[in-house]
Structure 1
């Protein structure tokens, strides 16, 4: 994992809940082609740190999983929320977002779920109401 710098962008955004925590999933473009080669995922729930996302991945993944496999698990959950929408709270075609400094970046050896990299960190998304990002009751704590 590479320590991540902060990032601000405006792109497609999905807001979803997983194990009671609300997360944001956005795409970021590294060049003018705007192909969304970077997945950006982070918790939106106040008081929840981005490390919780990796705890969930470790808890739900194989005990011997390495960072790339854990990153794939994270991206799979975000993609599932975007495509299936079963735990989706909101989806926006274009919305501003910020990823705070101090997160992590994993570069995949080959493209996974149409993304070359996963950046995680504490995230905020413009215009969300407090009830949209508050922690939810869950039967399956991770």
Structure 2
């Protein structure tokens, strides 16, 4: 649901770290069936904007990758944290979250990792401590 231009929801949330930045990965539903057809991913670390996620995708992905392929890279990293626990800090079966307006939305040509869309932007997740969302030391520059 939109709240002052922001998207808010309550769903499964995975909090994970990648290249020193903490991100949130949630699902959003377009209707009452609650299929989680939209992946919502954004940085939780204070001072890190959503553009950093796309920079990471550009640096780690194929040099000639187009926007949809970069979005698939972003969703793959979030899915890896959810499924495998790679870099996972926390996982909640139901938690409130907020995606600020002004991010980037990509619609996949066909369902990818069980999602039809990827929406990215600056994100907050209810109940996280400053320690959970603080930037970590990394050997990999972003």
SS in 2 for 1:75: helix
Would you say how many aligned residue pairs link Structure 1 and Structure 2?
Answer: 138
| Superposition misfits of 4+ residues, deviation over 6 angstroms | none
2:119 and 2:86 map into 1 onto residues whose CA distance is: 23
Listed one character per residue, the Cα deviations across residues 52-99 of structure 1 (whole Å, up to 9, x for unaligned) are 000000000111100000000000000000001020000000000000
1:140 deviates by 1.2
User: TM-score, length-normalised on structure 1?
Assistant: 0.96
SS in 2 for 1:124: strand
1:6 and 1:79 map into 2 onto residues whose CA distance is: 23
1:6 and 1:66 map into 2 onto residues whose CA distance is: 27
SS in 2 for 1:139: coil
Unaligned runs of 5+ in 2: none
User: TM-score, length-normalised on structure 2?
Assistant: 0.96
- Residue of structure 1 in register with 2:53 after alignment: 53
1:86 and 1:123 map into 2 onto residues whose CA distance is: 20
Unaligned runs of 5+ in 1: none
SS in 1 for 2:136: coil
1:85 and 1:70 map into 2 onto residues whose CA distance is: 21
